[in-house]
Structures are given as C-alpha cells and as structure tokens.
A and B are shown apart, each in its own frame.
Chain A
Amino acid sequence: MSGKKESMIEKIMNDPQPIPRKVPDYMRKKGGGWYWTGAMIMVVFIYEVLTGLFLLFFYEPTNAYGSTENFLNNTPFGSIIITTHLYGAYLMIGLIYVHLLRNLFVGAYKKPREFQWLTGLLLLVMTLGVAFFGYSMSGDVLSYDATDVGRGIAAGVPFIGTSLRGLFFGNGTDTSLFLYMRGWHIVLTVGIGMLFLIHFFMAEYNTIMPSGEDSKFKAPAIDKDDGTYKAWYPFNMVYMTQILFLVFGVLIIIPSILALLPGAPTLFSPFPQVSPSSPLAASVPSYPPWFLLFVYKALDFTMVQGIGPFWGTVIFAGFPLVYLFLLPYLDRKESLRIRDRPVTVSFGIIGTIYMIGLSIWGALTPGAAIPDEYVLLFFFVPGALVFLISYYAAKLMRDQKLQEGAEKIYLSIGVTGVASFGSGILILSSLASPSPLHLIGMILLLMVTAIGMAVTYAMIFGIRIKDREIQFKPMKKSSYTVTAGGFTMAAIVIFIEISIMPINSVFNDSLYGIGLGLIFLIVGAFIRLYRASIYGE
C-alpha cells in the first residue's frame, strides 16, 4: 500500500470486505435498537413496495377518486391494504427523521461516512417526493389542495417553472395529472430502491457506527471485529427477522385500530376525504400531509407571500437541506463528542423544534396569514434559548461539572422547547376559542414543559441518578418453553379467527388487520424469546 489516498471504489475493488458483516453484541442488546433504525426503514420500504404493487392492479388514473373509494369499500381486504400503505409511508418518513437525527447527534456524518450521509439525504428528499405523489393520487379534496400547492411551487421555479410543472403534473387535465403522479410515484420508488442499495453497501463497507466507547469518540469511527463477534447467521438474521415482524405488526395494527375509531382527525385519518365535487368538500380544512405541514405553514407568512411559494420553499426547506448536505464539510473536527460540537447539536435541536413547531402551528391555524413580527418571535426565542443552554451545557460538560454520558440533557432541552412552544400556542387558542380539547391539550403540554424543565435542571445541577447495572437475567428454561408454546397457541387461535371471519365491510377488514398485526407481534416477541432462550441474548 502506498501512502496515496485511495478512493472508495478503489478500496472496495482492491480490498473486498466480507458481506454481510458481523456486528458487535451490544447492537442486539437492550438499547441496541438505535443501531437498527436504517434496517427498520428498509423493512417499511419493503412493505410499501409490496402493498403498492397490489394497489397498482386497481388504480385508474381516469377515475382516481372512484377507483380509490371502490378499492377501499368494495374490494376484499382493500381497506387494510390501502390504509396500511398510507401509514407505512408515515412510519417510513418518521423513521427517516429519527435515523437522520440520530446520525446527526452521534456524528455519523463524519469521516469516512460523508458520502453515506449525502446519499441518505437524497433518499430523504426522494421519499418525501414519493410520499407527496402517493398522497395526491387518491383524488380526494386534500389531494387536489396538495397538488395545487405543488403545482404552484413547481411553476415558481425561475425560467423552467412551466416546464417543470408539466414534467411532474402533466398537461393540466385530471387524467394527465393522475397518470403523471402514478408514474412519478413508481419511478421515484425505483430510484429509492437503487439509491438505497448504494447507501446500504456503503454502510456495509464503512461498517456500522460503533459505540462511543469503542471509537473513543474520534473520527474515523470504524467498527473492528476483535474475534469475539458472533456469526452473522443465525444470530443477526434471527434478530433482523424479529425487527421485521415487530415493524410489520405495528404497521398493520395502528391504521387498523384508527380505522375502527370514528372521527379520527383529518391529519391522521387513514381514509381519504370526500371528493372535491362533493358539497361537503368546503367543510374540510385544506391540509397538506403532516410531513409537509411545516412548509405549508411557512408559505402563510406575510413575508413569504411577498416572494412566492417557490422562494418560500427554498428558504424554509431548501436552506436547511443545503446545510445538512454541507454538514460533513463544515464540521470536520475529529471529536464525536456532543460537548465538542455545540453548533451542530444546537442546529439539530433548533431545526427539530422549528419543524415540529411549524407543523403544530400549521395544524392549528391552517391557511391563516401570520404577520412578520410573530414569525420573528417564533424563530428567535427558541433559537436563542437552545443556543444559550447548549453552549452552557457543553461548557459544563467540558469542565467535568456535568457527568459523562449526560447527553440525554439535549433530549430534554428539545422536548422542553417544543412543549413550551406548543403550550404557548394552546394558551392563545384556548383564550381565543375555549374548548375542552384545547384546555386538556394545554394542561398536558404545560405538564410536559414543567417536567422537561425539571429534568433539565436536575441533569445540570446534580441529583445524580445512580446507574444501575443492567443485567441479563434469564428465566428458567421450562418457563421459556411454556411461554413460547403459549405464544404459538395464541397465534393459532387468532389465525383461525381471521381465517374464518367474513370479509364484507371495512369494519371486518380492520378486525382482520388487528388480528394479523397481532400475529406479527406475537411472532416477533417469540423470536425475542427464542434468542434469549437459545442464544442467551
């Protein structure tokens, strides 16, 4: 080996690594779930592709709303497939944000994972695009609202706006619109699949991001097998199967339960809203999907209305994205410790607060114009607070006044910030329009704020909670066997139930979904038991 720096491709070609890699044991222990957020996203993505292929058989771009409603109401198991497809998208986006923030806070964007970070960000953008098109395909009143905003943003791009609008939304007729959106929905999904493979093999090549103790909090953090790692098969495979079953279970159960509850709020309803030609359409507030609410609210600001929706999107979604893209090159320090990276960490927390705050704001006051002074207040106060607290906490940590491993303090700072912002809005709205909902929400959020502040205070100024040694205490062998048998019996009973039940209504569909989800969860729990019993994990 010469001293010359090799490119990644050269390294892969000249020094192939065993794939799949073995991983350290702590990844499969309690708290190891943080190392598997990417795997969870992959599982949900697989679920989305599978259910999406079913929907492909039924979707008619010439009759978008009619075919959606027909699939939902008149096709056996239609409601379970379409509602879980929607919630799978929600879960995937949620997990992507979790994955992104986790990797931001542990410094996983640093050497040697810069390109992995960049492909991840591209995947985020593409996933949001896929979700936008998918959400808009139902042809309900909300989908028209969303596509109108989308068309406005596309048309606002300088010079090429009209062409971009045509490229993504067709020639302006409804049939063309839904044909194009279905096309992009699938094309982007294929793109995600391919880019994901690259992202995945980079992760295999660069190894997992090892724990802080292993890497001594220094970049480049590479995981090295010291010879004690267990074989990939069966240990890791069984663990990943467990993840798959648990994620599928959650994914199927949540929308099935929501489908049974009458009057779920528009934002979280698993069903499409009314058709835009319906007389009830006027009573549906125009919401975009929740994951785009923050941009939507930003477009309400008076200052944004002066510059148009495209530039609003550039400022409120584009700039943060550019920052994230540049992050590996802005923060080149070697240390992975949070206390040495107060700027990055503060931006992470502030960005999260802004996003959640804007989303709640958008949900509570859809479409209401916001004067500039409120906007400035909203952006300045939490921003300044978080920066000050972060710097102070980082300094205390450096001076050893704050115990090691107290990074959780940043979580409590974030929660406190969001909760205080939310309760502030709710205080205003319960004054403006008193209702039990606002009141309960306000009380709950005030409590969260108070607890968050107390926890933050406690973390900074003493009250050390003694770390308890987490020990693995196996149950008796016989009790494992009995529990496992019990699990399987329960699964058999539920299976018989869902096999003989008639499928003739959305209600029964949802019961089937709950049953199927339960079996998934039971099998997931069973695998956990199996690992504990046989592998001693």
Chain B
Amino acid sequence: MSNISPGPDDEGRRTFLKMMGVLGVGLVGAGALRGVIQNLLPSTSNVVSAFPTLILISGSGSPIKTGDITVNAPTVVLFQYPLENEPNFLLRLGDANNNDKAIESVSVSVPATGKSFQSPGGVGPYRSIVASSAICQHLGCDPPEIRFHPPSDASFPGLVHCDCHGSTYDPSKGFAVVTGPTTQPLPNAILSYDSTNDTYKVVNMVGPTIYGHSNDLSGGNQLPSKTTTTVLVQGS
C-alpha cells in the first residue's frame, strides 16, 4: 500500500512540507488573531469620535449663568462630560471671604510620569470658574467621598479631598496633587465662556486620562444630548 517509503532522499522534501504546513497553520493563527484582538479592543469609534462641545445647562434646561454658580459652594455640583458616566466638578473659587479669585493657567506636574501639562485656568467674568473630573485618580472614588472643601481661613485655601484614602488636589493650581496617595492630578475639563450672553461651554479635557477609562472617550454611553450637558447639585 505504502509505496512511498520515507528514505534518505525524502528527508529534505519531508522537512520542506513540514515547514510549509507549520507556515500555513501559523498564517491561519495570525489571520484569526487580528480579528480576535481588534474585536475585543474597546473602540472609541462606536461612541464619539472627538470631544464634543456642550453647553452647560441647568436642570430646567436653560443655560447656566455666572450668577447660578455659588462662590465656594459646599455642595457637590457636577456635570457629565464627555460621556454619561464621567462626572466633573464645576467650581467657582474664591478666597476665605467668598470673593472671586482669578485662577491663572499654570504648569501642572504629573508625579506618576514626571511629565507636566498646562492647566486651562479659570473662566468667566472673574476668571474664577474651573472644572475637573470628579473621579479620584487614586482608586476611582466618586462624590461625595471626593468633594471640594471651601476655604475656612487664610491658611486653608480650599482643596478637593477624597475621604477614601486621603488624596488631596488643589483646584486653584490645575487640580495638582497636594498629598498622596494619588500620583496623578485630576483631569481638567476645559471650559469656555461666552461673555455676550453669559453662558458656559465645556469643550475638551486635558491632563491624565479619567480614572478607569482606557480613553476619555470610551467606556461609557454617549450623553443623551449632543449639544448640552446638565449641571446638577448632588443630592438635590
């Protein structure tokens, strides 16, 4: 039956065939691997492809005015950006006497990487309004565990503190790290102020990636509106 007996003259041919076979199996594996990996990688394209520009509105649907935001408010004021499950603080910073404090754009260092980024600085008529992700960069605690503590006297300028593990951030310096254990500042939300009609828009994020997300634009559902995001006081 077996009239092809493997002999010395067959060795080279056999090796060649084996190599071809292994190559073929490898090709199949590699070809399938592309599909497998690309399929499981969370993609950004199916949610939003770029940071949206959203007008900040109140719960009643009208745009937020400067007067709607309290200086040094002790309550937790949040809006979602850029996706539904990504809350951000909206803060109007002031001194211990509740007078608006102008916030400069500063270079914020990221201790985890040693790099730094430029904070957007305050906006509004008094350049006192800032915003940042409200998810702690240490282990992802949400408000009210992480919240803004207003200034009490000249020695305490008002800081964002997380009760979970004690991380503290300075909102007047681009939410830079004041005390650990966090090694990354809060991602800053970039606001823009339109002085002609006293409205605020959120246009982008700068700084580290929002905690728990592979990308600021992934890992959540798109906001219900493509033009607005609602500012809400937590607990109300």
* A residues near B32, Cβ cutoff 8 Å: 516
* A residues near B154, Cβ cutoff 8 Å: none
Among residues of A, the one whose C-beta sits closest to the C-beta of B6 is A534
Known: A477-B4, A498-B31, A533-B4. A77 touches B16 (CB 8 A): no
Q: Which of B5, B18, B27 has the most CB of A within 10 A?
A: B27
Render B87-128 as a binary contact track against A, CB cut-off 8 A, 1 for contact. 000000000000000000000000000000000000000000
A499 and B34 contact, CB distance less than 8 A: yes
Render B31-63 as a binary contact track against A, CB cut-off 8 A, 1 for contact. 110111011110101100000000000000000
* A residues near B18, Cβ cutoff 8 Å: 530
A534 CB to nearest chain B CB (Å): 6
A484 CB to nearest chain B CB (Å): 5
Interface residues on A, range: 35 or more
* A residues near B30, Cβ cutoff 8 Å: 495, 499
A516 and B31 contact, CB distance less than 8 A: yes
B35 and A472 contact, CB distance less than 8 A: no
B17 and A534 contact, CB distance less than 8 A: yes
Among residues of A, the one whose C-beta sits closest to the C-beta of B12 is A481
A495 to B27, CA, bound (A): 6
B24 within 8 A of A: yes
A519 to B38, CA, bound (A): 19
B24 and A77 contact, CB distance less than 8 A: no
B226 within 8 A of A: no
B2 within 8 A of A: yes
B21 within 8 A of A: yes
A78 to B1, CA, bound (A): 48
* A residues near B14, Cβ cutoff 8 Å: 534
A481 to B21, CA, bound (A): 12
B24 and A488 contact, CB distance less than 8 A: yes
B1, B17, B28, B38: the one contacting A516 at CB < 8 Å is B28
B218 CB to nearest chain A CB (Å): 13
A75, A485, A492: the one contacting B27 at CB < 8 Å is A492
A77, A494, A526, A536: the one contacting B20 at CB < 8 Å is A526
B2, B20, B35: the one contacting A488 at CB < 8 Å is B20
Q: Which of B6, B13, B14 has the most CB of A within 10 A?
A: B13
A491 and B1 contact, CB distance less than 8 A: no
A526 to B18, CA, bound (A): 10
A54, A481, A487: the one contacting B16 at CB < 8 Å is A481
B3 within 8 A of A: yes
A536 and B39 contact, CB distance less than 8 A: no
B3 and A536 contact, CB distance less than 8 A: yes
Render A504-519 as a binary contact track against B, CB cut-off 8 A, 1 for contact. 0000000010011001
Cross-chain pair count, CB within 8 angstroms: 102
A495 to B34, CA, bound (A): 11
* B residues near A133, Cβ cutoff 8 Å: none
A54, A78, A488: the one contacting B23 at CB < 8 Å is A488
* B residues near A495, Cβ cutoff 8 Å: 27, 30-31
A279 to B104, CA, bound (A): 56
* A residues near B35, Cβ cutoff 8 Å: 76-77, 80-81, 503, 512, 516
A515 and B31 contact, CB distance less than 8 A: yes
Known: A530-B17, A535-B2. A76 touches B24 (CB 8 A): no
B25 within 8 A of A: yes
* A residues near B27, Cβ cutoff 8 Å: 491-492, 495, 519, 523
Interface of A is mostly: helix
Interface residues on B, range: 20 to 34
Known: A74-B46, A536-B2. A491 touches B39 (CB 8 A): no
* B residues near A480, Cβ cutoff 8 Å: 13, 17
* A residues near B1, Cβ cutoff 8 Å: 472, 536
A527 and B4 contact, CB distance less than 8 A: no
A474 within 8 A of B: yes
Name the interface residues of A258-305: CB closer than 8 Å to any CB of B: none
A481 and B17 contact, CB distance less than 8 A: yes
Among residues of A, the one whose C-beta sits closest to the C-beta of B47 is A74
A253 to B20, CA, bound (A): 23
A522 within 8 A of B: yes
A75 to B36, CA, bound (A): 11
Among residues of A, the one whose C-beta sits closest to the C-beta of B34 is A499
Known: A488-B23, A519-B24, A522-B24. A77 touches B4 (CB 8 A): no
B5, B23, B38: the one contacting A503 at CB < 8 Å is B38
Among residues of A, the one whose C-beta sits closest to the C-beta of B38 is A76
A229 CB to nearest chain B CB (Å): 13
* A residues near B31, Cβ cutoff 8 Å: 494-495, 498-499, 515-516, 519
Name the interface residues of A123-152: CB closer than 8 Å to any CB of B: none
* A residues near B38, Cβ cutoff 8 Å: 76-77, 503
A143 CB to nearest chain B CB (Å): 23
A105 within 8 A of B: no
A80 to B39, CA, bound (A): 10
* B residues near A65, Cβ cutoff 8 Å: none
A338 to B209, CA, bound (A): 72
A522 to B23, CA, bound (A): 12
A353 to B24, CA, bound (A): 42
A413 to B45, CA, bound (A): 56
A410 within 8 A of B: no
B4 and A474 contact, CB distance less than 8 A: yes
Q: Which of A74, A76, A533 has the most CB of B within 10 A?
A: A76
* A residues near B17, Cβ cutoff 8 Å: 480-481, 484, 529-530, 533-534
Could you list some 10 contacts between A and B, CB below 8 A? A75-B43, A477-B10, A481-B17, A485-B20, A487-B20, A499-B31, A519-B24, A520-B28, A533-B4, A536-B1
Residues of chain A at the chain B interface (Cβ within 8 Å): 54, 57, 70, 74-78, 80-81, 245, 472, 474, 477, 480-481, 484-485, 487-488, 491-492, 494-495, 498-499, 503, 512, 515-516, 519-520, 522-523, 526-527, 529-530, 533-536
The 8 closest A-B pairs by CB, nearest first: A536-B2, A74-B46, A77-B35, A523-B24, A77-B39, A76-B38, A495-B27, A488-B20
User: Other CB < 8 Å A-B pairs besides A488-B20, A519-B31, 15 of them?
Assistant: A74-B45, A75-B43, A75-B46, A80-B35, A474-B3, A485-B16, A485-B20, A495-B31, A498-B31, A503-B35, A519-B27, A526-B24, A534-B10, A534-B14, A536-B5
